[in-house]
A and B are shown apart, each in its own frame.
Chain A
Amino acid sequence: MDIQALAQEIPVEGEYSLEGIDFITSGEQYLTFLLETEQYAVDILCVEEIRSWERPTKIPNAPSYVKGVINMRGVIVPIVDLRLKFGIGEANYDETTVVIVLKYESAEQGRTIGFVVDAVSDVLNAEENEIKNAPAFGGIIPHHYVNGLVNVGEGVVTLLNVEALQQIEAHTIG
């Protein structure tokens, strides 16, 4: 019996994870959304679903931007209002308010969290070389949440770091 040979036959996890996605593109795809009038984007592979606002169940003594939790097919998912978190725009809730549910799996844990945004706008293709470093100064959003900037026409889209967003414990400090 040769374990080594057997191990080589077993595909490494992730190797085939893109199988079945039938778009051909160079570079990564991002889902862009609006906070007030500013454009932000997250890696589309992290987007679990986009759902409309529903009143969540409050979490006792949670920070104001953690709106509570909802039941998403039996999973308890916390809802974070990015507008409150980053202090951009008004936090009003109506039928058009959108929640982007993001799932990010790191080595230690996988987390699913819903983020309230003003509107979902588009899917953005961005090559590695199109992504610019964010300037070190300015901006309301702490630096570690930002992966980079992409110019789209006249505007700028801020790419957010999903892993950092998922560190909800850090939210209570930041």
Chain B
Amino acid sequence: MAKVLVVDDSNSIRDMVSFTLKGAGYETVEASNGQEGLTKAQSGAFDLVISDVNMPIMDGITLCQELRKLPSFKFTPILMLTTESSTDMKMKGKAAGATGWLVKPFNPDKLLSTIKRVIR
């Protein structure tokens, strides 16, 4: 079973993402900010990371940079959840090593169809 790390400070979005993924047969681990996500990331191997950008304590861009420094996350797909549709934020994400992004608002179907691009 593929394991996904879901990082978002919004409980509702995190719940929704996690619930949707579980329903599709993925295992999920949740974190409410970048720092917590980084700590949880080090606790095991993940097949995918889905992270919000704007978060307290540690934002998603920093999380992404930090994760890419970990050997076990070198090739792990990292998707940024973002409301900014501006190219700017996407570029920042890509520069930090993100695989791609999901633009909010999205619905569960969109989420599942999109992550198929990076996870088996």
Contact = CB atoms under 8 A, between A and B. Distances in A.
B113 interface: no
Contacts, number: 3
Interface residues of B, number: 3
Interface in A1-15: 1
Per DSSP, are chain B's interface residues mostly helix, strand or loop, or mixed? helix
Interface string A62-84: 00000000000000000000000
Interface residues of A, number: 1
Interface string A1-44: 10000000000000000000000000000000000000000000
Contacts of A1: 107-109
B100 to A, nearest CB: 22
Contacts of B109: 1
A2 to B, nearest CB: 10
A129 B72 CA distance: 76
A1 B108 CA distance: 8
A77 B97 CA distance: 65
Interface string A146-164: 0000000000000000000
Interface string B74-87: 00000000000000
Contacts of B108: 1
A3 to B, nearest CB: 12
Interface in A54-106: none
3 A-B pairs with least C-beta separation? A1-B107, A1-B109, A1-B108
Interface of A: 1
Interface of B: 107-109
3 contacts: A1-B107, A1-B108, A1-B109
